[in-house]
Amino acid sequence: MNAMTKVMAVGVFDLLHAGHLHYLEQAKSLGEHLTVIIAHDDTVRIRKHEPVTGMDLRKRMVEGLKPVDEVLIGSPPSDSMFDILEQVKPDIIALGYDQDHAEEWIREELSKRGKSHIIVQRVEGLSDDLDGTRKIISRILELSSTWRGNIGGDEDNV
């Protein structure tokens, strides 16, 4: 009997949307068990922006998604992002189509740590206009100016 293929996916998962779900569905299709690593709030602050929702709430939201088997919060930026591999023991690391991670660099780092057996695979994106958090925020801001104009300042009509 073959061992179960374990897949690991990583991300911020702030303002959960269809692009996130698609990424996790694609990641799950690569194996039988999907562990998702939610970026630590301090990592998000350094690499992207102030999180809209905290890591505990983001973890809870992702835990509710059908493709997901397990969710962990990643290490703070002071620790190596590769430390979590000892706990997860993935066979595959699934990268989203829009994640800035350099696949070759990850492979080199895995090799340095004696983990060159782990496959790094980028998954397909969702062909939707609103498949990313920044796109959704931009659209909300665009619509909010329209809404304010249509409402005419009458808060009761919202």
Cα–Cα distance for residue pair 112/117, rounded to 1 Å:
12
What pLDDT shows up at residue 135? 72
Give CATH superfamily name and number for 6-126. Answer: HUPs (3.40.50.620)
Nearest of 13, 63, 67 to residue 39 by alpha carbon: 13
Nearest of 2, 5, 1, 3 to residue 90 by alpha carbon: 5
1-38 confidence digits (pLDDT tens): 468 999 999 999 988 888 899 999 999 999 999 999 99
